[in-house]
Each structure stands twice: as structure tokens, then as C-alpha cells.
Amino acid sequence: MECLLSRTHIIAATFWGNFILVGEGDRVYAYCLETLNQVGFQTAFTTSNVHGIRIAGKSVATCAVFGSRFLTVMTAEVSPSSSVVFKVILQPVMFDDWIWDAAWLQPEAGPLVSGTNFMTLALCLGHNRVAHWDWQAKQALALTSCSDYCLLYTAQLVGASWKQLIAVVGTVYREVLLWVPSQASPAPVLHRLTGHQA
């Protein structure tokens, strides 16, 4: 049995059913939670490490995989032999800024209809900007900057749709800012936490 603890350089991990998907170096690995065996992998990038994996879907997972300034989209599906088969459906796309977080977004009209691909992505970028991105058309639907334009150390996007989305970001000025990317750019800070110590 291969132990997960013996691996190094794991930067991203997320659970998907009975599996854990792990970003290790430039690859995404799938491990079975029951046996801890590796049951599949896919190379995501040639020049970057995987820093995050965001999943939409259950029986077939659509995975937004990002690292540095790159984003790729792949599917993961359990085969009859219980291995995980990955398929890249969007080759890596390079953005003009570091990607700190990604979030799958539902349409504003309501929840997704089962079996459809109406999802878009929100991408939180390194200089306190958020892009609403149509990954299938490879185009930005919106790009909003926060009124506090600065370099970020970390970010988390919270919300199910573009209008519900809130960016929670940690800045180089030791502050945590909350702001709403769907507001007109530059979007005002909704709330500021000061004195943040890394």
C-alpha cells in the first residue's frame, strides 16, 4: 500500500466522493480513500505546479485546475475497474496575473439543470481583481478591480453565482478585505480586517 504521507510538494487537495484529488507538482493524482492507493493521474501543466482544484459535479467531476498564471479544465470519472480516468477538456490557458482562487458559478436564473454545462468561472487574480470567465468560449464576461488595488497573498471566493460572489482577500498590507466583484469597478471594500499576521 502506498502511503499519502510519503509524498511531498502537495499544494492542493480536494475531496470527491470516495476519492481525494491531489495537486502534486504539475499533476493531479486521484487516491481512493478506502485503500489509499493511487487510482489515476493527469498532467495539468508543463511549466507550473498545481495550486488549486475546484470541482463541480458528482458522478463526473468537472475540475478547474489552476497554478501560477495557468488554468485548465478536465473531467474525472470512475471507470468500471474503479480507477479514475481524467480527460482534459480545456488546454492550459495563461492569464496576465497569478490566479489565487477559482470558483464555479451557476447562472443567475437559478440552479443548474442536471446534465447541462451552463457554468462559468470566477477567478481571483493576484492584484485584487476578479474575472468572470466563460471557460468554454475562452473569454472574460467581466473583470472587476477592488478599490484597494494591491498585491494579494491569499484569496477565497465565496458564493454560488456572480451576483452572490464575495472576494475575501489577504493583502500585502496585512489586511483582510471583503468586496463584491459584481459591483462596478473599482468595487468598494465591503469590510476591512486590520492587523492580520500572515
Nearest alpha-carbon partner for 180 in 153, 148, 146: 146
pLDDT number for residue 1: 42
176 lies in the same domain as 197: yes
| pTM across the whole model | 0.90
Report whether pLDDT(41) > 70: yes
Query: 2 exposed, middle or buried (CB, 10 Å; 0-12, 13-18, 19+)?
Result: exposed
The mean pLDDT of the chain is 91
Domain end position, chosen among 71, 94, 117: 94
Report whether pLDDT(115) > 70: no
Q: Categorize the per-residue pLDDT at 6 as very low, low, confident or very high, splitting at 50, 70 and 90.
A: very low
Task: Give the C-alpha separation, 68 to 95, whole Å.
Answer: 9
pLDDT number for residue 186: 98
Report the amino acid identity of residue 48: S
179 lies in the same domain as 129: yes
Q: What radius of gyration do the chain's Cα atoms show?
A: 17
Domain end position, chosen among 94, 118, 136: 94
pLDDT number for residue 195: 78
Task: Give the C-alpha separation, 120 to 135, whole Å.
Answer: 6
pLDDT number for residue 10: 84
Count Cβ neighbours within 10 Å for each residue of 114-144 and write b for 16 or more, e otherwise. Answer: eeeeebbbbbbbbebbbbbbebeeeeeeeeb
Task: Give the C-alpha separation, 51 to 38, whole Å.
Answer: 19
Task: State which residues form the domain around 86.
Answer: 1-94
Question: What one-character DSSP code corresponds to residue 165?
Answer: -
Instruction: State the alpha helices, DSSP H only, in 84-128.
Output: none
The more confidently predicted of residues 101 and 106 is 101
Report whether pLDDT(8) > 70: no
86 lies in the same domain as 160: no
The more confidently predicted of residues 197 and 165 is 165
The more confidently predicted of residues 66 and 3 is 66
